[in-house]
Amino acid sequence: MVIGGWQSNPLGADISPDIYVGYVNEVLLAGGFVFGFGMVVAKSCTSAHPYHLSKGSFISLFVLI
């Protein structure tokens, strides 16, 4: 996804030579797996933990620290 800047033709006829599209590699896949595993263990995203903490969830305190 390119935000702002040069926009290509919707028909795909011309693409800017300055656009860099990164490749999916093993490091990116491993990082996504670790991030997803952390989300499962924490049972939520970080922005929801203050709400869970206000409801008395002890794990939210651990996650926020």
Q: Where are the domains of the chain?
A: 1-65
Residue 54 has pLDDT above 80, yes or no: yes
pTM for the whole structure: 0.51
pLDDT of residue 12: 60
Provide the 8-state DSSP code for 5: S
Distance CA 51, CA 61 (A): 11
pLDDT of residue 4: 54
* CB 16, CB 24: distance < 8 Å: no
* Model confidence band, residue 42 (pLDDT cutoffs 50, 70, 90): confident
If you count them, how many residues does the chain have? 65
Q: Which is nearest to 62 in space by CA: 31, 53, 35?
A: 53
Strands (E), the chain: none
Per the listing, tokens 């919707």 go with: 10
